[in-house]
Structure 1
Amino acid sequence: MSPIQDFALVYEALNNSGTFSEGDPIIGTLTFKLKKDTKVKNVFLKAKGEAHVHWTEGSGDNERSYSAHTRFFKVKEYLVAEKDEGNKLHQGVHHFNFSLTIPKGDFPSSFKGHHGHIVYMLEAKISRSWRMPTTLQKQINFVSKSFPHTDQAMCPQSSSVNKEMGGFSKGEVQMSATVNRKACSPGDTLSIFAQICNSSSKKIRPKFSLEQRTVYRAGTSTTSTVQTLFKMVGDTIGQTPEETASCKLTIPIDAIYTLHNCDILSVEYYIKVYLDIKFAIDPEVVFPLVVTPSSSFVSCEDVQPFPAGAFGVPSYSDFPAPVFPVELNPLPTGSGYPAPDATQLENITSGNNYQWPQNAPPYGASSHAAFVPPSVQHSAPAIPPQYQQGEQPPSYTFPCA
């Protein structure tokens, strides 16, 4: 029977959310009790981050498996250094204070999906000669600081599409859609507007959806899963020169952050605005959306609509972008957001036999000062232009078959 009892690993983060990011220290205490004097080879602690994907395709003799693995980093610190003659630890309770620093780098956030995961682990191990090592593992919640395209997160993005009816139907349908944000956080609400011109003989229904697409990669092979997180159906629209449909979309509070910086796994979000037309291919516009942990984005001064025609959608630059109703204008007019206050680290207190040294070597200790993000100045966003009273918007011709 092992003489090691009550093997426990306690750690804490420098922020109130309990998450870790690149360059953060992991500070805590390793505790165990020995029933008798025991000789050990070493006692060490390590932190590591890695991603793994695996899936199968086909069945029977045609079944094939695909897998891939990536390690982002591994940091190791000996609490009891290894000696040829071993180390004798006395009977009783032993406490080891530790501090490991996560390296700086472009690492993805923690993730768990159907065909793979991204895991960051803290592991403690006691090794003894001719014995199985005593091991304890705990996952840490890692949140990346790297996100794409958040420099103009508050800017709207727009796109247009039209469809000419064929067969037994006449006329044409045109739609121009706008989303008021390019990036957001879980719990945020987006405003979506669609201007629709239905000069056909068909009745149509506008639909809005939020989709999460996860892609797994192993070499040149890929597989993916798509999950619809939100869907809304608008009212039926008959023949009309112009109709505006709108939607308020709230990002689920448990939504996974966008993952773009892992070679074998990625998570992307798309907002789809499309028209449901019976017995016809539904015209649609698709907007990419970045989901990040923070909502303190930088607004843009010059609104640059999302280029039409992206993701295979036809471009029609002469179709006007929709005008936001004044009472639903999604763009804030404030000057920005205050920089967050630094969190204070509470000292770890315990009766221990081994105090952590004040001037430890690299990876053995790190500054206990909390990470304070730099203050970001936010400029007031531009407001989409409105038509003046009495002014007529430009005319547009919608051809009919």
Structure 2
Amino acid sequence: MLFDKVKAFAVQLDGATAGAEPVFSGGERVSGRVLLELSRAARVGSLELRARGRAHVHWTESRGAGSSTAYTQSYSESMDLVSHRAALLAPDSGEPRTLPAGRHEFAFGFQLPLALVTSFEGKHGSVRYSVMATLHRPWVPARRARTGFTVIETLDINTPALLAPQEGSQEKVARSWFRNPGLVSLSAKIHRKGYTPGEAIPVFAEIDNGYTRSVRPRAALVQTQTFVARGAQKQKCALVASLAGEPVAPGRHAQWQGRLLRIPPVGPSILRCRVLHVCYSLKVCVDIPGSSKLLLELPLVIGTVPLHAFGSRSSSVDSQAGFLLDWGLGTLPQRPEAPPEYSDVVTEEDSAATAQSPFALLQDPMSLEGPYFPYFQECRYLPPPLYSEEDPNPPSEDMRSRCMTF
């Protein structure tokens, strides 16, 4: 407006950079300030702040009757995730106050709930977080300023459920009207269920082609978005990454011994939202000419906390060892060798040296001084005593009587 006294009105969050929203996790504190710049002194009624997080889905479905549309049905649902209100500037005694010309800053801060859903933008729904400031002045429309921020849910893949191997198998009889039917089988397995962006998934697969034509195996990482409203669901699938194998000739067997499928930068799985879900799966399929494809689906979870280098080492090593053994891709390490015999370690010269008087060792100028050192040297090369179930040094009668008194 030409005669508006407000030159600038904005909300700034701490940690924000040019062109990028700040990123938070559940339980963290969000802080910032509201900037108000006045060209002249102005009367201000109040300055309110509202932080909001909301998951919202909406889509429309049409039902046709012949060549015309019978009716159109809309589905919509919302879920509040964050709701915070604060008064940054309140009028004195119910009357508007006058602020001088210049720049004014009003600091704010609030705590996010522990359980939050990751920010998301989809075709039929979204999860958005924002902070809005509203400036009220007498006889002037309210002025509003808004800024958004991103929330990333902490999803740790270092849990037993996400570290467990995933496997499956499928088979089908491929038929074509001009060829004889044949059995095509597919088995696939991966090390674990949980991964993070940037990792590569080693895919192990076996394909048996009993069909009369060559078949071609493929693998793909697929994202499935599910929107829920009023008891109805709407799904949208997107291809994230894929790889293709070599054709398998008729009557031949093929194996994938860890074909790598790299995960690009994608959003994490959203599993704990009532109106919106984001899931991932690894789909391994075999394209069969003249017939429908043979499909095998393994569920995946894309997390935010990567695999620990040491925390899950033992469990992951054990699971991978069993994984390789099941598929015949590895063998257990050989049994460790037994320790050497005493006679193989101690030479005859050392044994002869210990047979002499222990006090003769003190004549060596390099030996240590002390009254107990000869005894140590005497027992240095002696073999350990033999095991016996009977105590070689039974307690005396006097010692037994003392123990009974206690």
- Please say whether Structure 1 and Structure 2 have the same fold, judged by a TM-score greater than 0.5: yes
Question: Residue 30 of structure 1: which of 19, 25, 34 is its match?
Answer: 34
Mapped contact 1:208–1:247 kept (Cα < 8 A): no
Structure 1 residue 40 and structure 2 residue 44: aligned?
yes
2:310 partner amino acid = S
Provide Cα deviations, 1:271-305, integer angstroms capped at 9, x if missing partner. 100111112232221011111222135xxxxxxxx
- Provide the secondary structure at the position in 2 that maps to 1:153: helix
Match of 2:83 in 1: 74
Question: Residue 335 of structure 1: which of 310, 327, 331 is its match?
Answer: 310
CA distance in 2 between counterparts of 1:123 and 1:9 reads 7
- Provide the secondary structure at the position in 1 that maps to 2:141: coil
CA distance in 1 between counterparts of 2:165 and 2:54 reads 36
2:259 partner amino acid = C
Residues 288-307 of structure 1 correspond to what in structure 2 (within 5 A)? Answer: 288-296=299-307
Give the superposed CA RMSD: 2.8
Mapped contact 1:335–1:380 kept (Cα < 8 A): no
Provide Cα deviations, 1:49-72, integer angstroms capped at 9, x if missing partner. 001111112275522222112211
Which moves more between the two structures, 152-161 or 46-55? 152-161
Match of 2:259 in 1: 247
**Cα distance, 1:390 vs. partner?**
11
Question: Residue 3 of structure 1: which of 2, 5, 8 is its match?
Answer: 5
1:67 partner amino acid = S
CA distance in 2 between counterparts of 1:25 and 1:172 reads 59
Match of 1:138 in 2: 147
Structure with the higher strand share, 1 or 2: 2
Residues 1-400 of structure 1 correspond to what in structure 2 (within 5 A)? Answer: 1-13=3-15, 18-58=22-62, 60=69, 62-83=71-92, 84-104=94-114, 106-146=115-155, 150-166=159-175, 168-240=179-251, 242-245=253-256, 246-253=258-265, 255-296=266-307, 335-336=310-311, 379-381=314-316, 382=318, 383=321, 384-386=323-325, 387=328
**Aligned in 2, Cα 1:209/1:62: closer, same or farther, shift over 3 Å?**
same
TM-score, scaled relative to structure 2: 0.70
**Cα distance, 1:82 vs. partner?**
4.5
CA distance in 1 between counterparts of 2:59 and 2:253 reads 48
**Cα distance, 1:208 vs. partner?**
0.7
CA distance in 1 between counterparts of 2:330 and 2:147 reads 64
CA distance in 1 between counterparts of 2:298 and 2:43 reads 62
CA distance in 2 between counterparts of 1:233 and 1:259 reads 28
**Cα distance, 1:145 vs. partner?**
2.2
**Aligned in 2, Cα 1:237/1:122: closer, same or farther, shift over 3 Å?**
same
CA distance in 2 between counterparts of 1:242 and 1:62 reads 53
Which moves more between the two structures, 16-25 or 175-184? 16-25
Provide Cα deviations, 1:103-138, integer angstroms capped at 9, x if missing partner. 23x321111111111100011121123322111111
- Provide the secondary structure at the position in 2 that maps to 1:36: coil
Q: Which has the higher contact order (CA 8 A, sep 6+)?
A: 1
TM-score, scaled relative to structure 1: 0.71
**Aligned in 2, Cα 1:133/1:61: closer, same or farther, shift over 3 Å?**
farther
**Aligned in 2, Cα 1:157/1:86: closer, same or farther, shift over 3 Å?**
same
1:183 partner amino acid = G
Mapped contact 2:21–2:150 kept (Cα < 8 A): no
**Aligned in 2, Cα 1:151/1:34: closer, same or farther, shift over 3 Å?**
farther
**Cα distance, 1:26 vs. partner?**
1.0
Provide Cα deviations, 1:80-111, integer angstroms capped at 9, x if missing partner. 1255212332222111222221123x321111
Mapped contact 2:217–2:245 kept (Cα < 8 A): yes
- Provide the secondary structure at the position in 2 that maps to 1:259: coil
Q: Percent identity?
A: 25
CA distance in 1 between counterparts of 2:228 and 2:284 reads 28
**Aligned in 2, Cα 1:234/1:378: closer, same or farther, shift over 3 Å?**
closer
- Provide the secondary structure at the position in 1 that maps to 2:26: coil
- Provide the secondary structure at the position in 2 that maps to 1:261: coil
1:94 partner amino acid = H
User: Runs of 5+ in structure 1 lacking a partner?
Assistant: 298-333, 337-376, 392-401
Mapped contact 1:46–1:122 kept (Cα < 8 A): yes
- Of structures 1 and 2, the larger Rg is shown by 2
2:143 partner amino acid = T
Mapped contact 1:272–1:287 kept (Cα < 8 A): yes
CA distance in 2 between counterparts of 1:184 and 1:389 reads 23
- Provide the secondary structure at the position in 1 that maps to 2:180: coil
Which moves more between the two structures, 81-90 or 231-240? 81-90
